[in-house]
Amino acid sequence: MLSIPDLIKKKRDGNALSDDDIQFFLQAVVENNIQEAQTGAMLMAIFMKGMVATETMALTKAMKLSGEVLSWPEEWAGLVVDKHSTGGVGDKVSLVLAPALAACGLKVPMISGRGLGHTGGTLDKLESIPGFNVRQPLPKLQSILAELGCVMVGQTDSLVPADRILYALRDVTGTVESLPLITGSIISKKAAESLNSLVLDVKFGRAAFCKDLASAKALGESMVAAGNNLGMKTSAVFTHMSNPIGRCIGNSLEVIESLETLKGKGPSDLMELVSTLGGVLLVMTGKVSSLSEGGRLITESVTGGAALAKFQAMMVAQGVSNENAQSLCSAQADYHRILRRADHQTELRTHTQGVVIEIDGLVLAEVLHQLGAGRTNAGDPINHSVGAELLVSLGDSVNKGRPWLRIHFESPALTPDQTSRLEGALTLGGSGDKPLRGSLIEDMIPPM
C-alpha cells in the first residue's frame, strides 16, 4: 500500500518514482488528501534529487490528466498550434503571432498567463484594452476559434488543476527553478489544449529565467522530449534576452507597439521572433516545406493586413466594442483615446556621446515593477498605464543630452535611486564598438 511519507522518503533518498507513485501523489494533491507540508516536502525532494526522463514524462502526463482535456473537431486535425515563451522584457510576440498564424489557416487556442516578478504577462497586456475579456467559457472559446482561428484566454479552473496547486506551492517553497517541475507545469498545460504542434521560445540572458545558453538548452531539451512523448510535435527556439524586445515595455504601451507591428510598422527584432516562431509552426503543420518559406508567409500576413484584421475581429469577439476595435486598428489611431495613458511622463538624457551598445532590460523591468507595472504575488493589482519607451536603438550614435528613455508613471514617482539605476542601464561605447546583439535567434531544436 502506497503512502505519501514513503514516497517522499523514496525521492529524498534519490530513487526514481514509478508511474504509479507519481499518479498516487498527484491524485492526493488534487483531491486534497495530503498535508500541504507533505506536498512541499515532495517538491523539495524533487528539486534536490531531480528526476530521470521517464519520471518527468510520467509527471507531465499525470498533470495533464488531472483535469479536463480539450477536444477539437476532426476537420482541425493537424492545425491546432500554440507557442510558449519562458518570459522576457517587452515580450509581446503572442499578440502579433496568434493572429498571423490564424491568417495562415491555423487554429490557435492561446491559453496564456499573467505577469509575475519582472516578466510581463499576455493576459495583463490584453486587459489594458477596455472590454477585452480573457475568461471565456469553453463553447464560446470553440466558436471564436472556429470563426476566426485564434482566441487568447486565461487558464480555466478545469484545466490541469494539479499544476495550479503545485505552482502556488513552488513559489513559497523555493522550488521554482526545478527543471522537471518547470517541464511538467508548462507541457501539461499545453498538452491539455490537445495541440498538434507547439513551439517553445526559450530565452536566455540577464533578463531571462535561464542566464546562459547551456541552462536554456537543458530546459528546452526536457520540454521538447516531454511534449513529443505526449504526441504533441514540439520544437524549441533559443533566443537572447538581455536587451528589451522592441521599444516599449509595460502593458498598454506594448499593446500599442503590437498594433503598430500588425500595421507593418513594427521593430525588426520583434518581427524576427514572430516570423521565426511562426515559420517553425507552419513547417510542423505541413503548411510549408521550409522555415524560410514559413517565415515569409508569416511576414506577409502581417505586412499585408490579414493578421491585423484577425486581431480586430478577435477583440470584438472577446468583448471590445466595435468602435474601439476599429479605432485601434485604423491607420491613424489615437491610441490614448482608448488605452489609458499614465498621468506623468519623464525623459532621461544621455550624459555623454557614444554608440548605444546595450540597454539592460532587467533593470528597466525591475524599476517599472516598483512603479506598479508588475506584481510580486499572484492576484496583486497592476497599473496597465505604467511603462517605458526606448527612444534609441542598439547601434545608434547619440550626442550628449539626447533623450533615450521615456518613463510613464503615476504614484509613486521615480526616486533618485530608481533614476540612477535607469541611467546605469544604458551602455555607450566608442565609434568602433558594436552592439552586443545581432540576431535574437541563437539556436533551435528543429521540428521533427
Which sequence positions are flagged as catalytic?
Answer: 84, 163, 170, 185, 189
| Cβ contact 400:352 at 8 Å | yes
Looking at the DSSP bridge assignments, the partners of residue 240 are 204
Distance of CA 26 to the CA centre of its chain: 26
Q: Which residues contact 368 (CB under 8 A, 6 or more apart)?
A: 249, 250, 374, 386, 387, 388, 407
The DSSP code for 373 is I
Q: Please state, in angstroms and as integers, the Cα–Cα distance from residue 223 to each residue in 50, 115, 156, 165, 189, following that order.
A: 15, 21, 22, 20, 12
Task: Return the number of other C-beta atoms located less than 10 Å from residue 227's C-beta.
Answer: 26
Q: How far apart are CA 82 and CA 89, in angstroms?
A: 20
Whether residue 5 has a cis bond before it, omega within 30° of 0: no
Q: Please state, in angstroms and as integers, the Cα–Cα distance from residue 189 to each residue in 119, 223, 243, following that order.
A: 19, 12, 29
Task: Return the number of other C-beta atoms located less than 10 Å from residue 395's C-beta.
Answer: 13
Looking at the DSSP bridge assignments, the partners of residue 85 are 201
Q: How far apart are CA 30 and CA 163, in angstroms?
A: 9
Amino acid letter, residue 195:
L
